[in-house]
Amino acid sequence: MTTVDHNIIDNIRRVSRQIRSTAHKYQRSADDIRLLAASKTFPISAIRVAYAAGQRLFGENYVDEAIEKIRPLSELDIEWHYIGPIQSNKTRKIASHFTWVQSLDQGRHARRLSEHRSGLPPLNVCIQVNISAEATKSGIAPHELEGFAESISSLPNLKLRGIMGIPVKESCFERQRQAFAKLARAYNRLKNQGYSLDTLSMGMTGDMQAAIAEGTTMVRIGTAIFGQRQ
């Protein structure tokens, strides 16, 4: 194995340890926090190494790049999550190659994904929620969440699992927590309305600890596992 391979293995162990220790610190069970490896721009070989180290959830952002990896790795027991912006003309490919889509924020995409998913098990989806409207475009506003969730529920081949959020980059821990607390409130509001959800996807390399403090159930980690993207 190469140095890069060893680093990926060490990195996964370190991130997993950090998840356990941070969960403990905030009186949470680490079993309630899944680790998704965000593998965009990294080669198949890196994914194989991570898989050999026990990693099973992988997230990709670019459809065509993703399919080039998903096809040759189809014999592996990987749960593939689409986490990038959705384009209408890619919904068929997304629906047929992924089992999860975390970046759903438009009704027309939801309808197309459901259509293209017929004959397969339901596609697991998270609604992307935008709690920093002025800084980013992706995601729906928290006040639109209820209506959007309701429209998704009527689609036969989608299964709503929860919400996903990407707060703007912020280095202050307390401010990171405030952003994640907003997402957690949106998630809990939906649950209180009777939706049975299990996924609050939030936290990346730079803010994983704050996300754990605020109740994340899935952290999406790229840099801390695979290294800097070029």
Ligand X SMILES: *Cc1c(COP(=O)(O)O)cnc(C)c1O
Binding residue for ligand X, selected from 40, 48, 92, 93, defined by CB under 6 A: 40
The window from 119-127, 174-182, 187-195, 217-225 that contacts ligand X (CB under 6 A) reads 217-225
Binding residue for ligand X, selected from 152, 166, 210, 211, defined by CB under 6 A: 166
Question: Does the footprint of ligand X cover residue 222 (CB under 6 A)?
Answer: yes
Spacing of C-alpha 172 from chain mean position: 23
Beta bridge partners of 100: 81, 124
Q: What's the closest the beta carbon of residue 202 comes to ligand X, in angstroms?
A: 9
Q: What's the closest the beta carbon of residue 225 comes to ligand X, in angstroms?
A: 8
Question: Does the footprint of ligand X cover residue 220 (CB under 6 A)?
Answer: yes
Q: Which of 124, 116, 187, 110 is nearest to 154 (CA)?
A: 110
Q: What's the closest the beta carbon of residue 154 comes to ligand X, in angstroms?
A: 26
Nearer to ligand X, 58 or 148 (CB): 58
The tokens describing 27, both together, are 């009186």
DSSP alpha helix (H) spans, 26-165: 44-52, 63-70, 91-97, 107-116, 145-153
Question: Does the footprint of ligand X cover residue 131 (CB under 6 A)?
Answer: no
Q: Residues in contact with ligand X, total (CB under 6 A)?
A: 13
Question: Does the footprint of ligand X cover residue 204 (CB under 6 A)?
Answer: yes
Question: Does the footprint of ligand X cover residue 38 (CB under 6 A)?
Answer: yes
Helices 44-52 and 3-25 sit at what angle, rounded to 10 degrees?
A: 50
Which residue in the shown chain puts its C-beta closest to ligand X? 222
How far apart are the C-alpha atoms of 13 and 218, rounded to whole Å?
16
Q: Determine contact, residues 151/107, Cβ cutoff 8 Å.
A: yes
Q: What's the closest the beta carbon of residue 12 comes to ligand X, in angstroms?
A: 13
Beta bridge partners of 124: 100, 159
The tokens describing 91, both together, are 């919904």
How far apart are the C-alpha atoms of 185 and 198, rounded to whole Å?
14
Binding residue for ligand X, selected from 70, 83, 94, 104, defined by CB under 6 A: 83
| Binding residues for ligand X (CB under 6 A) | 38, 40, 61, 83, 166, 204-206, 220-224
